[in-house]
Amino acid sequence: MIYRLGGEGEGTDPAMRVLGINAIFHDPAAALVVDGQVVAAAEEERFSRRKHGKRPVPFSAWELPELSAAWCLSSAGVDVDSLDAVAYSFDPGLCRDAADLGLADPWDWLRVDYARRAPQFLAAALPGLDPEKVRFVPHHVAHAASAGLAAPPAGDDTAVLVLDGRGEVASHLAGVYRDGELSPLYSQELPHSLGLLYEDLTRHLGFLHSSDEYKVMALASYGRPKHLGLLRELVRVTDAGGFHVDRIDWASLAKAAEPGAELTEDHADLAASVQARLEEVVLDLARWLYDASGGASTLAMAGGVALNCVANARLAADGPYRDVWVQPAAGDSGTALGAALHVAGALGDRATPMSGADLGRGWSVEELEAELRRAALPYFRPDSIAAEAARVLADNGIVAWYQGRSEYGPRALGHRSLLAHPGDPATTARMNDVKGREQFRPIAPMVRAERFADIFDGVFPSRYMLFVHRVKPEWRDRIPAVTHVDGTARVQTVHTDTEPLVAELLAEFERLTGLPVVVNTSLNTAGRPMVDTPREAMELFGSAPVELLALGPFAVRRGALGGGR
Ligand SMILES: [Fe+2]
């Protein structure tokens, strides 16, 4: 594997090394920060091949990211015993009795008990680790750091808003970063939680909570916010910068849906209503924070609710901030990175902003070729893999695009992507079939930064696909596959300085078709985590109707395999 650091083991290297761990609630993950810079970060699911690391069912509330942690260390050539600290993104010392917090979970103390023993568990999982090196970081401080310390420099203070399901005792944190230091301004205590509100709705609509919330967001575009008046009474913003969520009788608004059942207009209307109220509340909280922070020009966001790209777009459009930046791993996996940056800061290292989400595993060209040989696949090396892929896409073929290091966070951003033609209206159904997704779900476009403003309105740049944009009316019929029912698209802007290969592919596709965008979805099939290794990429290629596998500079064509089409 590539991207090793040099100079390890010499005994004189002053680099400060902090391993970040998220092992509680959702999406176990590990991250390694060296001298204030994130050098590796990965979700455990990419190694264990269990989506989100574990199922969101009772008593599966924790999992140590053993494999991802071991990879972070080995890829950077860092020995366990040379770590300065391990940052754990939950502080059991802050916890209170669940009944006290208004939570109906008689077993909550089990999670707290587990977290208290985390140093010993970690020492067992990472032989050689001194348990004394483990530092507990409050969950929402870890989320806040993943946004406020990882965002591009703002030039002044950075306001930070964490919108989550839950942490130790709270669900939200509003604060401001000054010179790398967080000043908390308000934190909303449980049981009031925007994340848990959205999770409850997700469950009521027959989806998997803590996993399928983005499906609810997609469904909302098909409905009308009929219940907005009632939700304004039940979900209220307080003068202190927080909010209250009263009990909601979901069944009185729409019948509970069984998993996999057909969803009705009632369900879409309910989703639209909650989504609309969420957007209003997020906007109010962000405005309060703007005033309380003394008018910071940049807002950085994290927490699971910050993956709601419709709410993010509204906040960017209607809120007071010049820039809104959202951590690409805004869910709990990002707390591994945030906890590590926070502790590195406490140890005196200034954080370096993230330059991209490609922080996971990568393979050298030689390693990729060896994998292809081992699998006995008939591959070739075209002059340009980008041009080769563009030709297949222009012929309406699907491309499995595997390049560089894998992405940290839930979005494929041109490293582990499944690409397709945006001009064919049938592409959406075809891609959703390949991926076993519901047909109401949109697929998203990537566009070269230079061409963005010709086709879309909205937040720019949008490197991490965390905002929705309006497709200009004259383009809607030309790129129907990526235009959602409400005329929007969740755009990734591709910048030549950071993603030259994808930019080349887009330019070549436009030369062939006149269309400056390509469909981009994650490289996985139904229910599986994103492809991470070359072998998984080849397995996907072998089991899905994909015309081209672009594995680094190498190409494997479906036709060359013989049999089938
Ligand atoms: Fe969280």
For the domain that residue 91 is a member of, what is the CATH number?
A: 3.30.420.40
CA of 48 to the centre of ligand 1 (A): 21
pLDDT score of 415 more than 50: yes
CA of 354 to the centre of ligand 1 (A): 20
pLDDT score of 2 more than 70: no
Write down the pLDDT at residue 440.
72
Helices (H), 385-533: 385-394, 427-434, 452-455, 473-476, 500-513
CA of 5 to the centre of ligand 1 (A): 30
Residue with tokens 């015993």: 81
Query: Which residue among 26, 52, 172, 421 is the active-site one?
Result: 26
Total number of domains in the chain: 3
Is the residue at 3 inside a domain?
A: no
CA of 409 to the centre of ligand 1 (A): 13
Signed CA dihedral, 291, 293, 298, 300: sign only = negative
Identify whether residues 377 and 471 lie together within a single domain. yes
Q: What angle do CA 241, 343, 171 make, to 5 degrees?
A: 30
Which residues make beta-bridge pairs with 33?
Answer: 18, 38
Identify whether residues 389 and 534 lie together within a single domain. yes
Identify whether residues 75 and 113 lie together within a single domain. yes
Identify whether residues 300 and 417 lie together within a single domain. no
CA of 132 to the centre of ligand 1 (A): 25
**CA 306 to the chain's CA centroid:** 9
Is the residue at 144 inside a domain?
A: no
Choice between 449 and 486, residue whose per-residue pLDDT is larger:
449
CA of 42 to the centre of ligand 1 (A): 16
Distances (CA, A) of 348 to 16, 35, 454: 9, 9, 45
pLDDT score of 61 more than 90: no
Write down the pLDDT at residue 4.
37
Q: Last residue of some domain: 318, 347, 376? A: 347
Burial of 7 (0-12, 13-18, 19+ CB in 10 A): exposed
DSSP letters for 7-47: STTSS-----EEEEEE-BSS--EEEEEETTEEEEEEETHHH
Choice between 66 and 207, residue whose per-residue pLDDT is larger:
66
CA of 543 to the centre of ligand 1 (A): 35
Identify whether residues 123 and 165 lie together within a single domain. no
Identify whether residues 52 and 129 lie together within a single domain. yes
Query: How does 475-495 read in b/e, with b if 16+ C-beta sit within 10 Å?
Result: beebbbbbbbeeebbbbbbbe
Give the length of the chain. Answer: 565
In this prediction, residues 188-196 reach a mean pLDDT of 96
pLDDT score of 5 more than 50: no
pTM: 0.94
Residue with tokens 């030549």: 496
Q: What angle do CA 403, 404, 409 make, to 5 degrees?
A: 95
Identify whether residues 295 and 338 lie together within a single domain. no
- DSSP conformational letter for 82: G
Is the residue at 71 inside a domain?
A: yes
Residue with tokens 């790129």: 479
Write down the pLDDT at residue 56.
62
Identify whether residues 422 and 280 lie together within a single domain. no
Identify whether residues 96 and 180 lie together within a single domain. no
Q: Which range of residues forms the domain containing residue 256?
A: 151-326
CA of 140 to the centre of ligand 1 (A): 7
Here the CATH number for the domain that contains residue 434 is 3.90.870.20
Choice between 489 and 213, residue whose per-residue pLDDT is larger:
489
Contact at 8 Å (CB) between 416 and 522? yes
Alpha-carbon radius of gyration of the chain: 23
Look up residue 319 and give its amino acid: G
Identify whether residues 322 and 204 lie together within a single domain. yes
Look up residue 529 and give its amino acid: P
Identify whether residues 88 and 184 lie together within a single domain. no
Output 152-158 pairs: Cβ under 8 A, ≥24 positions apart: 152/325, 152/353, 153/353, 154/296, 154/297, 154/298, 154/323, 155/297, 156/296, 156/297, 156/298, 157/293, 157/294, 157/296, 158/296, 158/298, 158/299, 158/300
Q: For strands 379-380 and 554-557, give the pairing.
A: antiparallel
Non-local (6+) Cβ contacts of 345 within 8 A are 36, 145, 149, 180, 181, 351
Is the residue at 11 inside a domain?
A: no
Whole-angstrom Cα distance, residue 195 to residue 344?
A: 28
Is the residue at 272 inside a domain?
A: yes
Is the residue at 146 inside a domain?
A: no
Choice between 165 and 564, residue whose per-residue pLDDT is larger:
165
In this prediction, residues 216-244 reach a mean pLDDT of 94
Q: For strands 243-245 and 235-237, give the pairing.
A: antiparallel
Identify whether residues 446 and 539 lie together within a single domain. yes
H/E stretch holding 138 reads none
Contact at 8 Å (CB) between 42 and 407? no
CA of 327 to the centre of ligand 1 (A): 13
Q: Last residue of some domain: 347, 380, 397? A: 347
Whole-angstrom Cα distance, residue 20 to residue 338?
A: 8
In this prediction, residues 235-259 reach a mean pLDDT of 94
Copy the structure tokens of residue 45.
Answer: 């699911």
Choice between 395 and 207, residue whose per-residue pLDDT is larger:
395
CA of 502 to the centre of ligand 1 (A): 32
Residue with tokens 């959702």: 26
CA of 200 to the centre of ligand 1 (A): 16
Is the residue at 352 inside a domain?
A: no
pLDDT score of 131 more than 70: yes
Signed CA dihedral, 530, 213, 326, 222: sign only = positive
In this prediction, residues 213-239 reach a mean pLDDT of 93
Contact at 8 Å (CB) between 26 and 56? yes
Write down the pLDDT at residue 563.
56
Choice between 438 and 72, residue whose per-residue pLDDT is larger:
72
pLDDT band of 231, cuts 50, 70, 90: very high
What is the three-class DSSP state of 324? Answer: strand
Is the residue at 60 inside a domain?
A: yes
Assess whether 469 carries a catalytic annotation. Answer: no
Average pLDDT of every residue of the chain: 92
